[in-house]
Structure 1
Amino acid sequence: SGLFAGGVAAQIITRYSNLTDVIWNNQSKVILNNRL
């Protein structure tokens, strides 16, 4: 039970970090476009 919960938490953290990476990449592109 504990291992299963840990696996789910790890998947959520991984998906969340991937989502923040996508958002950060989009924001950095907007910042670069605004500077140019």
Structure 2
Amino acid sequence: MPPEAPSSLATLLFAAGAVVPFTVVLVCFVVGLVKR
């Protein structure tokens, strides 16, 4: 197993953890604008 694999996996998990809440906030914001 190459040493890059765990760190890249951690990076992917960190990116997902950072992107998911941002996406949820963005979707809620767009829905709020559309329903206004």
Query: What is the TM-score when the length of structure 1 is the normalising length?
Result: 0.72
Task: Tell me which stretches of 4 or more aligned residues in structure 1 moved more than 4 Å.
Answer: none
Q: How many residues align?
A: 35
Q: Tell me how large the CA RMSD over aligned residues is.
A: 1.6
Unaligned runs of at least 5 residues, structure 2 = none
Unaligned runs of at least 5 residues, structure 1 = none
Q: Identity of paired residues, percent? A: 0
Query: What is the TM-score when the length of structure 2 is the normalising length?
Result: 0.72
- Considering fraction of residues, name the structure with more helix: 1
